[in-house]
Chain A
Amino acid sequence: MAAEPIRFTIDDVEITALEGQSIIEACDAAGIYIPRLCHHPELEPSGNCRVCTCKVNGRNSATCVTPAAHGMSIENNTKELNDDRRMIIEMLFVEGNHPCPYCVASGNCELQALGYRLGMQAPKEVYQWPDRGIDATHPDIYLDHDRCILCSRCIRASRMEDGKTVFGFSGRGITMRLNIDATGGLGETQMAAIDKAARVCPVACIVIKRDSYRVPNGQRRFDLAPIGSDIEARRKQVKS
């Protein structure tokens, strides 16, 4: 009764996927890294950032929300796609305020790490300098809205994993913001520092207080190896 295996190729490598897997999940398992930002392996995909866009059968599709299908032919690591991905990273850098030198997430930040991996030396788009404010009302967590990249990870984690629905969006377009389930700040919500939602922020929008410099700069996750190296290390295992 075993279903036909799902086989597809990505950059000419053949991959086998399980029924129900998205392209990015199948590739992760096989040790092929597709750059991504809003996707988190433990959360439902949401397709916000579009960084994981690949050319699937000749057509651009975000691979976090595209089911793997038999016979697909996918381009991933091409100049055009990486240029477009880098442009999205640049857009996010200028949309918010992302001051790496004095940001607590530097070295652990996935936005920054993608900038490094995709070869961004400096964003050249026009800085927007938003002023969305900081929410420090919670005893253990602060929110810096200017650093939010609207990836929706915390929204998904809070709703699906924590069962709290602390976060949502408000507004639309360039004025869209991360919103919280209280009028008086995060301190009025059920949010706790041990929540999944507090641990999935790819940047430094949601930061646990008094916890930022356990690991010094220079020895952090992406100081040691480029983002995606962990996934690519699997490929070596898969091959051998």
Chain B
Amino acid sequence: MMAALAGVPDAPKPTLATCSLTGCFGCHMSLLDIDERLLELVDLVDLDRSPFDDKKTFDRLVDVGFIEGGCSNEYNVAELRDFRKNCRILVSVGACAINGGVPAMRNSISLRDCLESVYLNGASLDGPGMIPNDPDLPLLLDRVYPSHEIVRIDYFLPGCPPSGDAMWEGLKALLTGEEPELPYQLCKYE
């Protein structure tokens, strides 16, 4: 179904963009955790917008986008939508992108209770406290949303984080036009 993105000599290399929304950057770390295969990766793909190269905007259509982290605020939503618009294939990477992960622990508490218990009634508060409201701060969503509840997602790469091997297998499959199906040892939700 998917044309191979790599392997044609002299053709431009396929491109990869990554971002970390409400996540911990652990998935990004895991992508670096593929050891010597990093060299192979460099041959296989050109990095576009990503925290790795500090490129912050899109200026062309990118082949593969890796989304780390769920959406907890309006900036996350904007960034995710931007990725969807500019990536041919969008992959939800890791537990937070897939189901909200640790940040989604707040999902069974209302936003008001959550903010008040931290900023107004927190045990460590010295003084009356206040809910931060700087105009530069993005507004929070009522809960943390998995990325596929915000935009269309093409593939899921589970794990917290997905292991370096899982990252490598998943990415390699996408770049060579295979369906990214992880073997049993590499498919982990934790």
Contact = CB atoms under 8 A, between A and B. Distances in A.
Contact of B190 (A97, A106, A121, A124): A106
B160 interface: yes
Interface string B169-190: 0000000000001101001111
Given A106-B189, A121-B156, A226-B184, A99 B99 contact: yes
Nearest to A124: B148
A3 interface: no
Interface string B91-133: 0100100111110110111000000000000000000000000
A102 B190 CA distance: 7
A101 B160 contact: yes
A5 to B, nearest CB: 36
B143 interface: yes
A126 B102 contact: no
Contacts of A101: 95, 101-102, 160, 189-190
A35 interface: no
A122 B158 contact: yes
A169 interface: no
A168 B44 CA distance: 57
Interface string A127-142: 1011100000000000
Interface residues of A, number: 24
Nearest to B161: A101
A60 interface: no
Contact of B95 (A100, A112, A127): A100
Question: Which range holds the interface residue count of chain B?
Answer: 20 to 34
A25 interface: no
B184 A116 contact: yes
B149 interface: yes
Contacts of B188: 100, 116
B146 interface: yes
Contacts of A126: 149
A217 B149 CA distance: 30
Interface string A37-59: 00000000000000000000000
A106 B184 CA distance: 15
Interface string A73-108: 000000000000000000000000101111100110
B189 A112 contact: yes
A102 B104 CA distance: 12
A102 B95 CA distance: 10
A100 B189 contact: yes
Nearest to A103: B190
A142 B88 CA distance: 46
B148 A107 contact: no
Nearest to A225: B184
B108 A100 contact: no
Given A121-B158, A217-B190, A97 B108 contact: yes
Nearest to A106: B190
Contacts of A146: 108
A185 interface: no
A123 interface: yes
Contacts of B100: 127
A131 B109 CA distance: 8
B173 to A, nearest CB: 13
9 contacts: A100-B189, A101-B189, A106-B189, A121-B156, A121-B182, A124-B148, A131-B108, A146-B108, A226-B184
Given A99-B104, A112-B189, A116-B188, 17 more contacts: A97-B108, A99-B99, A99-B101, A99-B102, A99-B105, A100-B160, A115-B189, A116-B187, A119-B181, A121-B156, A121-B157, A121-B187, A123-B99, A124-B148, A129-B107, A129-B143, A130-B108
Sort A-B residue pairs by CB-CB distance and give the 10 closest, nearest first.
A101-B160, A131-B108, A100-B189, A122-B156, A121-B156, A106-B190, A100-B190, A129-B107, A122-B98, A101-B95
